[in-house]
Amino acid sequence: MTFIHIPKMGLKLISLGQLIMAFVVLTLSLSPTPSESCNIFEGSWVYDISYPPFYDASIQCPFIDSGLNCLKNARPDKMYLHYRWQPTSCNISRFDGKKFLERHRGKKVMFVGDSLSNSQWQSLGCMLHAAVPNANYTFTSRARISTIFFPEYGVSVMYMKDGFLVSLVNGTLMLDTLSGSESWKGIDVLVFNSYHWWLHTGRFKTWNAYQVGNQTIKDIDVMEAYKIALTTWANWADSNIDPTKTRVFFQGISAVHYHGADWNEPGVQDCRGQTKPVEGSNYPGTKPPGDEVMRSVLGKMKRPAILLDIVLLTQLRKDGHTSIYSGGEMDCSHWCLPGVPDTWNQLMYTILMQNSSFP
């Protein structure tokens, strides 16, 4: 039997929704927690109406880009807001923004990468702001770095736009030269990402050659170039990161949904009109080609980064994209907020909080 303590300051009415939420939290707290034997990235999406979004984009978050605010852009269905990630062998705790801020008091968290990193950064900013809605915050943007700062806790949540991680100079990708590594020093939690920019073609492609040392290369396979660039980053991390002071994550590859055949619906062109995830814990389509490259590079690091292995959980969420509710072009690459990126932060939070030696 569970008792809910009501302070002596007076009676407090508790709604049915609050009681349901309390039951869900209690149930999760009594269930097996993540451990080394549980892969929190293997699982399925469970529809749970009692599991509300981490924030209300319309009133609780000033950080969301308008193109990611699907509700504001008139998305009519709401089911996508109530799917929670359920690992196969354990449960994960619901994100506690206040606990995150307390744990990281005086520290800096930086996301480095492309627009998917930007989405995860916006998501974390929203999750923290919703947890302490009355706390002051500042937002600054200088050069490539944007910062959300919570002065009461001394916590900075930063985003640095850097989709390649290596330098791009006059249309040439310098595969052995990092573009912003000086800004990465002194950060307590680093979350890197690089992949989708490497696949750009046509008007979106910003390079026409690669360079390693003094040698310019034009006919190298893009995945080989990607591997060289990631190895450059990995070597920097091995040489410059003190794992007792800084925790390094690498955001896995976020799935796109432009071909229905990938999820056994060959007659479907893209993610338009999708309202439910792929059922179960297996995705019919193949993993992106960069996934194997990424795992290979990370696996050879002397001081391994933690892979936020979001490939499967994003592959299953064909319903979670901004789709025609981006305020612009149809988009099956980016995600609605609130939405899937919130789970990325929940999983990162789980990893950070379960080990007391982490920063």
Concerning whether 44 is annotated as a catalytic residue, the answer is no
Amino acid identity of 215?
Answer: Q
Closest among 321, 334, 252, 322 to 287, alpha carbons compared: 252
Given 115, 194, 254, 323, the catalytic residue: 115
Closest among 104, 121, 10 to 65, alpha carbons compared: 121
Residue range 153-174, pLDDT digits in tens: 999 999 999 999 999 999 999 9
Percent of the chain beyond pLDDT 70?
Answer: 89
Is the predicted pLDDT of residue 127 greater than 50, yes or no? Answer: yes
Segment 200-204 mean pLDDT: 94
Residue 26 forms part of a structural domain: no
Residue 131 forms part of a structural domain: yes
Integer Cα distance of 174 and 166 in angstroms: 6
Beta-bridge partners for 108: 156
Concerning whether 48 is annotated as a catalytic residue, the answer is no
Q: Is this structure's pTM higher than 0.95?
A: no
Is the predicted pLDDT of residue 351 greater than 70, yes or no? Answer: yes
Tokens of 309: 């292995």
Segment 71-75 mean pLDDT: 95
Residues 136-163 as b/e (b if ≥16 CB within 10 A, e otherwise) read ebeeeeeeebbbbbbeebebbbbbbbbb
Amino acid identity of 134?
Answer: N
Residue 320 forms part of a structural domain: yes
Q: How confident is the model at residue 15 (pLDDT cuts 50, 70, 90)?
A: very low
Tokens 């039951």 correspond to 23
What confidence score (pLDDT) does residue 57 get?
Answer: 84
Segment 289-316 mean pLDDT: 97
List, in sequence order, the alpha helices (H) in the chain. 16-30, 97-103, 115-131, 222-240, 289-299, 311-315, 340-354
Integer Cα distance of 315 and 313 in angstroms: 6
Is the predicted pLDDT of residue 19 greater than 60, yes or no? Answer: no
Is the predicted pLDDT of residue 339 greater than 80, yes or no? Answer: yes
Percent of the chain beyond pLDDT 90?
Answer: 84
Closest among 160, 159, 137 to 150, alpha carbons compared: 137
What confidence score (pLDDT) does residue 358 get?
Answer: 54
Concerning whether 50 is annotated as a catalytic residue, the answer is no
Beta-bridge partners for 250: 192, 307
Which residues have C-beta within 8 Å of that of residue 350, sequence separation ≥ 6? 34, 40, 92, 93
Angle (CA) 304-310-312 rounded to 5° is 125
Residue 199 forms part of a structural domain: yes
Segment 194-202 mean pLDDT: 96
Q: How many domains does the chain have?
A: 1
Integer Cα distance of 135 and 48 in angstroms: 30
What confidence score (pLDDT) does residue 58 get?
Answer: 77
Is the predicted pLDDT of residue 324 greater than 90, yes or no? Answer: yes
What confidence score (pLDDT) does residue 320 get?
Answer: 99
Element (H, E) at 322: strand 321-323
Given 114, 162, 270, 331, the catalytic residue: 331
Residue 92 forms part of a structural domain: yes
Integer Cα distance of 41 and 32 in angstroms: 15
Residue range 215-248, pLDDT digits in tens: 999 889 999 999 999 999 999 999 999 999 999 9
Tokens of 180: 């912003």
Closest among 159, 106, 102 to 128, alpha carbons compared: 102
DSSP collapsed to 3 states, 120-148: HHHHHHHHHHHHCCCCCCEEEEECCEEEE
Given 196, 257, 321, 334, the catalytic residue: 334
Mean pLDDT across the chain, nearest whole number? 90
Q: Which domain holds residue 199?
A: 38-354
Residue 19 forms part of a structural domain: no
Residue 32 forms part of a structural domain: no
Closest among 105, 182, 108 to 143, alpha carbons compared: 182
Is the predicted pLDDT of residue 347 greater than 70, yes or no? Answer: yes
Residue 21 forms part of a structural domain: no
Residue range 244-279, pLDDT digits in tens: 999 999 999 999 999 999 999 999 999 999 999 999
